[in-house]
Chains A and B, each alone.
Chain A
Amino acid sequence: MSIDIETARRVAKLARIKVEKDRLPGLAQEFSAILGFIEQLNEVDVDGIEPMTSVEPMRLFRRDDVVTDGDQQAAVLKNAPDAREGFFAVPKVVE
């Protein structure tokens, strides 16, 4: 499978990564190479083999339903480029 320039542009946009136009052909080529490798992997017959989800035999850790976090408005907003009256302030987004 090969990735064309338009697909590379779209993927970059969806990921909110700014890519200059002249870099798109190179990016598309890299994507294609990666997918080429995955195609190679797809040739391996994995019928009847369960996907491995962890290298250690462990189960998902579960927490009790207790409030243990929060109450840190100042810390949460600290890195925000703009915050007002306890809110993050972002460029207007209206549907």
Chain B
Amino acid sequence: MLDLTYDAPKPKVISGATGDWELVIGLEVHAQVATAAKLFSGASTQFGAEPNSNVAFVDAGMPGMLPVINEGCVAQAVRTGLGLKAEINLWSAFDRKNYFYPDLPQGYQISQLYHPIVGEGEVLVELGNGTARLVRIERIHLEQDAGKSIHDMDPAMSFVDLNRTGVALMEIVSRPDIRGPEEAAAYVGKLRQIMRYLGTCDGNMQNGNLRADVNVSVCRPGDYEKYQATQDFGHLGTRCEIKNMNSMRFIQMAIEYEARRQIALLEDGKSVTQETRLYDPDKNETRSMRSKEEAHDYRYFPDPDLLPLEIEQAWVDDIAASLPELPDAKKARFIADFGLSDYDASVLTAESENAAYFETVADGRDGKLAANWVINELFGRLKKEGHDITQSPVSPAQLGGIIALISSGDISGKIAKDLFEIVYTEGGDPAKIVEDRGMKQVTDTGAIEAAVDAVIAENPAQVEKAKQNPKLAGWFVGQVMKATGGKANPAAVNALVLQKLGL
């Protein structure tokens, strides 16, 4: 793997009345584990089912029901840990986090407070212009999701659907290494990308399959470096936690608002109270979840229904051996093997399906040309139709065929675009279409010469003007291209026009 070196980006600075402030951010990302069944029951995790149809009696908290762990969820958590270069704990255990809420019928969430399955790891978050932040992961633990309450179906009642209750979540906890709103969004984006490559979380934020709690504090320039040197949180400001956000845009807006709120308090001589807050996107503000304060006494204790989770190193090694090439490695390889720019390589590796498509197209062909066609023509066209790569009517073999025709000089770039449109809308083998419809580029100098001669003979007035102003030669090139139906090789036409006009 090629070693990509980056500079650390500058932290976001907000100027206050009493000087500059910097942001310090840590995230807890809740990622729904991609499995068929729930963490401790055999009910389905399918989204959008009839309310309360994906519910086992365990999920409904019925008396006497016992949780039985789904090995698939454990494997996915290990896989995610390995993808984040994290330490895998062969011994972990489950605890009960006690709180009362209607969508949590057990009265407690089964989680891993004391002994998480995954320990410390790291994620490289690229931020453009050759900068990237290395964010340390503190831990990943497995836990149950809660159900869903709907408040707007009845004026006096809340409606509860337990389909999501008990679905496995991975809570990925970062260190406070993130230094601005854009970095926070990019970090979530990178986690999402890695998990989609690994197939451990579909990353669908709209459905709530990826959500984040964001811890924000502010400090003076220089304080953060003291924290980094000592790992002593005393150098940092008091933090507030903004709960449960499922949009990159809201994450950024909430951080920005919350930082400014804290700065205003501090500059006013007041202090920040450590608390949980909610972001209201309609008003663009965060507000205290006061009702949660007393309930925050979770009275954690080891879950007596579950033995410790012991896994074997050989099993972890098997999972490690099955990991796909991950985004950083793939991107480095695309740059090295295909000569792509950093930007193009990022675009092509954003989703593993895109990368696989590109690789098939580029195989044995001009990599840069392939990248241009995949990114500009194909992605552009798909985007216009609201499609993704899996819905592309043009197969990699077809697009590769078009590129081969360009490289061999059989068609011009302009004709290639027409050909692409035909293949996109009608399908078919590009080489055969070119043959059948007479789209081949004319490289035969004799034929081009005849066309140039004809245009010159028909336009004596223009010839005189061109002799005064050589820039007008372009007009002749245009006329010849038109006369040949765009099939003449433009470079050959250009050379002949200049020669014939004596320029």
- For A89, give the chain B residue with the smallest CB separation: B157
Given that A62-B71, A88-B159, A91-B158 are known contacts, is A69 also in contact with B308, CB under 8 Å in the complex? no
Q: Which of B35, B70, B159, B308 contacts A87 (CB 8 A)?
A: B159
In the complex, which residues 287-333 of chain B have their Cβ closer than 8 Å to any Cβ of chain A?
289, 291-292, 294-295, 297, 299, 306-310
Q: A60-95, CB under 8 A of B: which get 1 and which 0?
A: 111111111111110011000010111111111111
Is A14 touching B160 in the complex (CB atoms < 8 A)? Answer: no
Q: A1 to chain B: closest CB distance in Å?
A: 16
**A41 contacts chain B at the CB level, 8 A cutoff:** no
Q: Which of A13, A54, A69, A94 contacts B41 (CB 8 A)?
A: A69
Bound-state Cα–Cα, A71 to B56, Å: 8
* Interface size class, chain B: 35 or more
Q: Which of A13, A67, A93 contacts B158 (CB 8 A)?
A: A93
15 interchain pairs (CB within 8 A)? A58-B307, A62-B71, A64-B72, A66-B42, A70-B53, A70-B56, A73-B51, A76-B162, A85-B51, A86-B161, A87-B161, A89-B154, A89-B159, A93-B102, A93-B151
Contacts of A65 in B (CB 8 A): 35-37, 70-73
**A16 contacts chain B at the CB level, 8 A cutoff:** yes
Q: A39-62, CB under 8 A of B: which get 1 and which 0?
A: 000000000000001100011111
Contacts of A66 in B (CB 8 A): 36-37, 42
**B475 contacts chain A at the CB level, 8 A cutoff:** no
Select the residue from A63, A73, A85, A90 with max chain B CB neighbours within 10 A.
A63
Select the residue from A53, A65, A73, A76 with max chain B CB neighbours within 10 A.
A65
In the complex, which residues 140-170 of chain B have their Cβ closer than 8 Å to any Cβ of chain A?
149-151, 153-162
Interface of chain B, main secondary structure: loop
| A-B complex: 9 closest residue pairs judged by Cβ atoms | A65-B72, A68-B42, A87-B159, A69-B42, A69-B56, A70-B43, A62-B71, A86-B51, A88-B160
Bound-state Cα–Cα, A58 to B153, Å: 48
Is A73 touching B53 in the complex (CB atoms < 8 A)? Answer: yes
Contacts of B71 in A (CB 8 A): 62-65
Contacts of B160 in A (CB 8 A): 87-90
Instruction: Give me 9 other A-B pairs in contact (C-beta within 8 A), A65-B70, A87-B161, A91-B156 excluded.
Output: A64-B70, A65-B37, A65-B73, A70-B53, A72-B53, A73-B50, A76-B60, A87-B150, A91-B158
Bound-state Cα–Cα, A86 to B159, Å: 9
**B44 contacts chain A at the CB level, 8 A cutoff:** yes
**B407 contacts chain A at the CB level, 8 A cutoff:** no
Taking Cβ atoms with an 8 Å cutoff, the residues of B that contact A are 35-37, 41-44, 50-58, 60, 68-74, 93, 98, 100-102, 107, 149-151, 153-162, 278, 289, 291-292, 294-295, 297, 299, 306-310
Q: A20 to chain B: closest CB distance in Å?
A: 20
Contacts of A89 in B (CB 8 A): 154, 157-160
Bound-state Cα–Cα, A10 to B293, Å: 13
Contacts of B35 in A (CB 8 A): 65
Q: A83 to chain B: closest CB distance in Å?
A: 8
Select the residue from B50, B52, B149, B150 with max chain A CB neighbours within 10 A.
B52
- For A71, give the chain B residue with the smallest CB separation: B53
Is A87 touching B74 in the complex (CB atoms < 8 A)? Answer: no
Q: A3 to chain B: closest CB distance in Å?
A: 14
Q: B7 to chain A: closest CB distance in Å?
A: 42
Is B37 touching A72 in the complex (CB atoms < 8 A)? Answer: no
Bound-state Cα–Cα, A22 to B140, Å: 46
Contacts of A73 in B (CB 8 A): 50-53, 55
Select the residue from B54, B289, B291 with max chain A CB neighbours within 10 A.
B54
Given that A59-B310, A60-B308 are known contacts, is A70 also in contact with B72, CB under 8 Å in the complex? no
Bound-state Cα–Cα, A60 to B100, Å: 27
Q: A54 to chain B: closest CB distance in Å?
A: 6
Given that A63-B68, A65-B35, A88-B52 are known contacts, is A94 also in contact with B151, CB under 8 Å in the complex? yes
Bound-state Cα–Cα, A95 to B276, Å: 12
